[in-house]
A = this chain, B = another copy of it.
Amino acid sequence: METPIRCQFCSHLPGSAFHGLNNDALEEISHMKTCVSFRKGQVIMHEGARPQGVYCVHRGKIKLYTLGTEGKEQIIRFVTKGDLIGYRSILSDEPISASATALEDTHACYIPKSSFFKVIEDNPKFSLNLLQLSCHELGEAGKMITSLAQKSVKERLAEILLILRTTFGEDEEGYLDISLTREEIANMVGTATESVIRLISELRKDGFIDSKGKRIKVNDGSALREIASVFE
């Protein structure tokens, strides 16, 4: 049995689409939603499907990915607490463009499509938040496109290690607080698994990162930024 999660909690998370909604609105959403859990590895949404609602993630980490020609995953982005899944498809009235799979045990709230649209109609602020969110992600997607098109595999790997650190943070020992296989990293970078393995070894030998099995620690962020040619 799930402990119900109050929408007030999620509305205060950074970047939440529910940010700034008044208590009455949040209470109303609370009544329309149901709480669900997903086990590590469980598929939450399938590319091509027509979702009947959106998920608001409360705990856990999720990868969003499309499947290429040979069935190879291309990870588009990660989803963590406070983020929505499925809203793109519902709002553009198109099939889901990316599958979602839990990277660890995940708790989320399910808001049916009709309720979701009701919140939009009743709360211009929510609608504006969603606009801001999707426009922000559009910018991020543009950056990813430019990286993939113009940077080398090594540059992209360094860039993604930095993105992982920003997105998931570090544990007490300084290791990235996300567990990904080399294959998953390759599926983000857009390269072969072996190439990622080789380059991670190289970065480790250079002392810029540490790695113990799946665990990766960024030792020298500015070196990675230099390798990635990120000037921000």
Contacts and interface: CB of A to CB of B under 8 A. Distances in A.
Contacts of A141: 138, 141-142, 144-145
A189 B137 CA distance: 22
B138 A74 contact: no
A contact residues, range: 35 or more
Given A142-B76, A145-B148, A136 B66 contact: no
A94 interface: yes
Interface stretch (A122-130, A172-180, A198-206, A214-222): A122-130
Interface string A146-182: 1011110000000000000000000000000000000
Nearest to A72: B150
A97 B146 CA distance: 11
A127 B134 contact: no
A150 B93 CA distance: 26
Contact of A134 (B121, B135, B142): B135
A87 interface: yes
Given A127-B128, A128-B120, A229-B69, A138 B139 contact: no
B150 A74 contact: yes
Contact of A124 (B89, B124, B132): B124
A213 interface: no
